[in-house]
Amino acid sequence: MKTLLPLIFIAAFLGSAQAKRLEVLFLGDEGHHKPAERIPQIMEGLGPRGVNFTYTADPDCLHDGTLKNFDALMIYANIGTITEEQEKGILDYVYEGGAFLPIHCASYCFLNSMQYVKLVGAQFKSHGTGTFSTNIEKPEHPIMKSFKGFETWDETYVHHKGTNDRNVLQTRENEPWTWTREPGKGRVFYTAYGHDQRTWSNPGFHDLVHRGLVWAIGEKKSKTFLSTKLPELVRRDGDLVPNYERRPEPIKVHQPLSPEQSLQHTQVAHGIDISLFASEELGLYSVIEIDWDERGRAWVIETRDYPNELKPTELGKDRIRILEDTDGDGKADKAILFADKLSIPTGMCFARGGLIVQMAPEFIFLKDTDGDDKADVRETLFSGWSTGDTHAGPSNLKYGFDNWIWGVMGYAGFNGKVGGKDHRFGQGVYRFKPDGSKLEFLGSTSNNTWGLGFSENNDVFISTANNQSSVYMPIAKTHYDRFDGLDQPSRLPGIDSNKKFFPITPNVRQVDVFGGFTAAAGHHLYTARSFPKDWWNRSALVNAPTGNLVYRAQVRPEGSHFVAENGWNLVASVDEWFSPIYSEVGPDGAIWMSDWYSFLIQHNPTPNKGRGGFDAKRGRGNAFESPLRDYTRTRIYRFTAKDGKPSKTFDLSKKKPNDLLRAIQSDNMLWRMHAQRLIVESGNGSTFTQPLKGIIQSSEPDEIGIAGGAIHALWALHGLGTVDAKSIELGLNHKSAGVRRAAASVTPRKENFTNHLLKAVNDPDHQVRKDVLLALSEMPPSEEAGKILFSKRKDSFILNDRWLPTAFQMACSRHGAGYLKAALAASSPANATAPPKAAQIPKDNLILNSGFEAIDGTMPKNWKARNYSGQANQRIVSPGRGGKGNAIMIESAQGADSSIHFDLKVKKRTTYQLSAWIKTEGLKTIRGGRGAQLNIHALPDQPRTRALKGDNDWSNVKLKFKTDDTGTISINCLYGGWGFATGKAYWDDIELIQIDAGQGPDISEDTESIVAANLVNHASSVQLSSTLNDIITKPTELGNKIKKMIRAPKVVVKESKEDELTLSKTHQVLKLNAIEGLKFDKIKLEAKSGKPIAIIVSNPDLLQHNFVIGSPGSLERIGSAADSIITNPKAIEMNYVPQTNDILAASKLLDPGTLEVIKIDPLKPGKYPYVCTFPGHWRIMQGHLEVK
């Protein structure tokens, strides 16, 4: 990919007429100098001095239409060639008065242009490296005056093709190093400094570039710029500021700024304006969320009880108010109190003519029945939300396309009864019916969660607080729960390809994941049309209050999956009180943002002298207590596109049908969703059904293929219960893929609608195909559908996709009788010949000793056993598959999570197929266990095959996966998996082969096994009888296998606990706890040599931790590897355990309140270091195991 976006803007905003900030366009590339990693460093250095940067990697920016908007052009790139148009653009810009700053490698850019070489002043020729300083040749030049120089490691550039008119300011060993030129009316500043972060992070380099920039813009601009006085950040003494970063001195608090002053220190994306809508001047305090009613009025939740003052019902200090701009000047001038005496409400959603409010431990319903804008009805919908940690509770309530209410939950969790059904879950995403009668948990996230957003096509995105700012929910847990052998990933997949955020001040205070997201909140996409097109349905707004910014994640599809790429910032500030926590598209198409405005935003851990610099007290909401938590200020800002047209607004409060039908076709999804909801709540199918069908028929896709009116019309019909065959036919044949998806999703789950879906099973869009298959998985079982699905089993469109194989197997399982009949008809006659043993596996198998014939002690050669938790017995057994050779077996009577694994090196970014044969005997799962399967460590989401449970004869499992940049993987024969299993499981003939990227794995056998396992649960009695009759009367090899796989529905087994007494009979049992303050409760453990060791690692702390133990003397090497893993996009999936041979054993990432048993083979005498390698933890959280 040539560039992240056609043009990625970081910041370009004139905060006010009083503060002229300089606008610099920074042209980089994707080469080895990594410009995208360097620009945040210069932003931190020059941002506080009033300089804004806009980044792009696209040389097409070199034309007048773009360059004229900037005070200066900076190039730091090695782009090989330049077009005539681009060359003319840059030359015209400079010669007509523009400022040009080529830095370092820019002197070896655009090699086909001598005009460019002349403009720079010379061309790079060669270099060495070293640590050095340079000589100042012109100390009286404005750039060099009072400049003291600096020392740095850098490349020692030598140039050639130098022009005679260079004004050389610095030299290195007589080589011109920094110079200026004045071509035409413009100015050029060049320096050879700048190979990597060692120079770009140097304050001396920041000073030099700032001086060069101020000179290059010319005397008139520089005089105006230098005369500008940004509001001073006045620091004060005496405050206890947590110093988690271990700075030499803690940052001092600066005095708060007024909204106008704060804006002068704030940068906004180029082409975007910012304005203040409301602040403490209107009596606002601590706005935690904004929403808009059907009249377009802004409603806000204000909280003073957050985070530590949770109070009983009717005693809280928090409230919900309605803000209005009555005079049309763009600022709120009226505030109406809707409800008060609340305590820590964290989200709200309009429904049923009122407002649903999240307020742990309850969800309540508030309603105004007499029209005075004051709530006079207050009802509890349901309760069960934990209040143990107020920043880990429920948030982000949203009315969904499906007419349910959606939300996310942090690690505090839910434990309650809804609609007569008990529910218990932790961090993740859920939905419930607006009347509170039913609740469903849809998927787990990797850590604390405070962000939810829908695309205009009904894709679901989530943000988590720590190091995973974008998450995607491809298939809900409710789908997986209907089928044996298909398990939702233990954590919804992260899609964020960028792990860093980009503050413009070095004074960023974080708890951990330094330099990355540690308090990410929100994931609303831009779903209107007032901003430029590259924002539409692509730009997700992720608030990062600890970085004083709002990050823009650019979401793009990859088949049925998504990737979120770096879109830089919407806004960032030098003001350290600036704390964005909520951003969403408003009724006018603008982005509205709530600035919490508090110097202290961190929740936990509670500082102590060892970490933070002082001992603090933990409050009742699990946040540490501090007078720096401000409750007197808050700001709401609006962001508008400079040339954008505001969305048409509506007043839907009278619920007039014509108004609702117009609003449901708005170009702003906020209005479409309001109109859909009000139509559904009206229950008036006779009035709305025909006009809605007309909208479906007449809607045309817009410039990006969205037909929002038709999408919402289908969901409105679904809510009214008036979807008919004509609606589905119109929807499934629509030009817009989003409409076809909606039509599949709302298709009535009735037999006479199955054919509509079968006609769409070849849709050319991956997401449509996924939704069609998921809809088929819920239709009444149909033999015809099963036969058609069987014909698609080798469809490369399905096999090469991330999520389509799973959706396909769900649909096949639902229509299993027809699928198996078609498979039996195509099967070979029965014979006694067993499939080939390992000795006959093709030579390209990369697994050594794949049939376990070579033995080394008690394990197969090249294979090792490991226990994650519980007690298991791993051993070699004979005979193996086909009555020959060996196999491996794992068994447990009381329950275990265990594996036998093989580690190998693989090619990077290469596609492989992994397969094996598995047999199970009485295998039952408990505590969330999956069963018996293969899985792969060190890759995204730990790819895995289907899991077998119960009794299964030898069954083939298979998966296709692609490696990343890790280069080493671990293949696990996994028993239990993310939970426990009991019973026996066997593995044989493991095969790993490299395949072409476009070659999907043959999942036929895998699908047949899954379909057979689910046949009893989904086929009708007639279909089941007919299928079994075919197997018996027409013997085939496949039929013999299927007969053994067909079994009764899964049985729920009660959980069992680790038997410590039993464990102590074979191991030295040690216990270790992670405790508050980033510590283990023991810095030393002791054990004897010659006997296996079991360490029970518990995490009663409120943060996530892991446990890593290494060989003697390896602490610093493991620590260095841990520091490097933060930038790995797969770090979470790797449990933050680095790949190094120094590590002897490691746990998974332990959530609060969980434990794991780490079993270690007998060790030799020595001191074995153990650490937590979660980012930022290892230097503090460590100890050693002394073996005597």
Which residue reads 């060639």 in tokens?
81
What integer is the mean pLDDT of 721-736? Answer: 98
Which residue reads 């601590």 in tokens?
286
Distance, CA of 224 to CA of 217 (rounded, Å): 11
**Angle at which helices 804-814 and 783-790 pack, to 10 degrees?**
150
Distance, CA of 556 to CA of 572 (rounded, Å): 24
Distance, CA of 704 to CA of 712 (rounded, Å): 17
Asked whether residue 17 carries a pLDDT value surpassing 60, the answer given is no
DSSP state of 31: S
Asked whether residue 652 carries a pLDDT value surpassing 50, the answer given is yes
Q: How many CB atoms lie within 10 A of CB 64?
A: 12
| Model confidence band, residue 1001 (pLDDT cutoffs 50, 70, 90) | low
Distance, CA of 849 to CA of 151 (rounded, Å): 56
Q: Which helix H or strand E contains 1122, and what residues bound it?
A: helix 1115-1125
Distance, CA of 184 to CA of 92 (rounded, Å): 9
Proportion of the chain above pLDDT 70, given as a percent: 95
Range with lowest mean pLDDT among 202-211, 222-231, 807-816, 911-920: 222-231
Phi then psi dihedrals of residue 269, to 5 deg: -55, 145
Q: Which helix H or strand E contains 888, and what residues bound it?
A: strand 887-905
Q: Is the link from the previous residue into 879 a cis peptide, with omega within 30 of 0?
A: yes
CB distance 580 to 572 below 8 Å: no
| Model confidence band, residue 961 (pLDDT cutoffs 50, 70, 90) | confident
Token code pair at residue 1147: 């746990």
CB distance 1075 to 1169 below 8 Å: no
Q: What is the reported pLDDT for 868?
A: 87
What integer is the mean pLDDT of 304-308? Answer: 96
| Helices vs strands, H then E, count in the chain | 26, 55
What integer is the mean pLDDT of 160-184? Answer: 97
Range with lowest mean pLDDT among 470-484, 884-898, 1049-1063: 1049-1063
| Model confidence band, residue 1053 (pLDDT cutoffs 50, 70, 90) | very low
**Distance, C-alpha 536 to centroid of its chain:** 19
| Model confidence band, residue 7 (pLDDT cutoffs 50, 70, 90) | very low
Q: Give the angle 638-644-648 at the CA atoms, nearest 5°.
A: 80
**Distance, C-alpha 1177 to centroid of its chain:** 22
What CATH number was assigned to the domain covering residues 259-641?
Answer: 2.120.10.30
Q: What is the reported pLDDT for 830?
A: 63
The model's pTM:
0.86
Q: How many CB atoms lie within 10 A of CB 206?
A: 21
Asked whether residue 286 carries a pLDDT value surpassing 90, the answer given is yes
What integer is the mean pLDDT of 333-355? Answer: 98
CB distance 813 to 480 below 8 Å: no
Q: What is the reported pLDDT for 345?
A: 98
**Beta strand 471-473 pairing with 521-525:** unpaired
Q: What is the reported pLDDT for 19?
A: 54
Q: What is the reported pLDDT for 983?
A: 97
Distance, CA of 1121 to CA of 248 (rounded, Å): 24
Token code pair at residue 237: 């003494």
Q: What is the reported pLDDT for 471?
A: 97
Range with lowest mean pLDDT among 104-118, 253-267, 600-614, 1044-1058: 1044-1058
Q: What is the reported pLDDT for 842?
A: 46
Token code pair at residue 564: 């979120």
Token code pair at residue 239: 């405050």
Topology of 854-1002 in CATH?
Jelly Rolls (2.60.120)
Residues with Cβ < 8 Å from 389, sequence gap 6 or more? Answer: 410, 411, 412, 603, 604, 621, 622, 1102
Residues with Cβ < 8 Å from 149, sequence gap 6 or more? Answer: 133, 134, 136, 170, 204
Question: Exposed, middle or buried by CB within 10 Å (0-12, 13-18, 19+), for 468?
Answer: buried
Q: In what order do the strands lie in the sheet with 1079-1080?
A: 1079-1080, 1068-1075, 1093-1099, 1154-1160
Q: Which helix H or strand E contains 894, and what residues bound it?
A: strand 887-905
Q: What is the reported pLDDT for 966?
A: 75
Range with lowest mean pLDDT among 508-512, 789-793, 1098-1102: 1098-1102
Q: Is the link from the previous residue into 307 a cis peptide, with omega within 30 of 0?
A: yes
Asked whether residue 142 carries a pLDDT value surpassing 50, the answer given is yes
Q: Give the angle 973-974-977 at the CA atoms, nearest 5°.
A: 165
Q: Is the link from the previous residue into 142 a cis peptide, with omega within 30 of 0?
A: no
What integer is the mean pLDDT of 1011-1019? Answer: 88
What integer is the mean pLDDT of 710-729? Answer: 98
Higher pLDDT, 975 or 1049: 975
Q: Is the link from the previous residue into 361 a cis peptide, with omega within 30 of 0?
A: yes
Q: How many CB atoms lie within 10 A of CB 688?
A: 23
pLDDT digits (tens, 9 = 90+) for 549-559: 999 999 999 99
| Model confidence band, residue 8 (pLDDT cutoffs 50, 70, 90) | very low
CB distance 482 to 488 below 8 Å: no
CB distance 432 to 378 below 8 Å: no
Does domain 22-226 fall under CATH 3.20.20.70? My reply is no
Q: Give the angle 1174-1179-1181 at the CA atoms, nearest 5°.
A: 65
Q: What is the DSSP string of 348-413?
A: EEEETTEEEEEETTEEEEEE-SSSSSS--EEEEEEE-B--S-TTSSEEEEEE-TTSSEEEEE-TT-
Token code pair at residue 1039: 């039929």
| Model confidence band, residue 841 (pLDDT cutoffs 50, 70, 90) | very low
Q: What is the reported pLDDT for 964?
A: 77
Among left, alpha and beta (phi > 0; psi -120 to 50; other), residue 46 is: alpha
What integer is the mean pLDDT of 229-236? Answer: 91
Q: What is the reported pLDDT for 1045?
A: 73
Asked whether residue 195 carries a pLDDT value surpassing 90, the answer given is yes
CATH assignment of 1060-1187, among 2.60.40.10, 3.40.50.620, 2.60.120.10, 2.60.40.420: 2.60.40.420
The strand pairing partners of 336, in sequence order, are 322
pLDDT digits (tens, 9 = 90+) for 439-457: 999 999 999 999 999 999 9
What integer is the mean pLDDT of 395-405? Answer: 98
Q: Considering the chain, what is the average pLDDT of its residues?
A: 92
Distance, CA of 483 to CA of 777 (rounded, Å): 10
Q: Which helix H or strand E contains 718, and what residues bound it?
A: helix 708-720
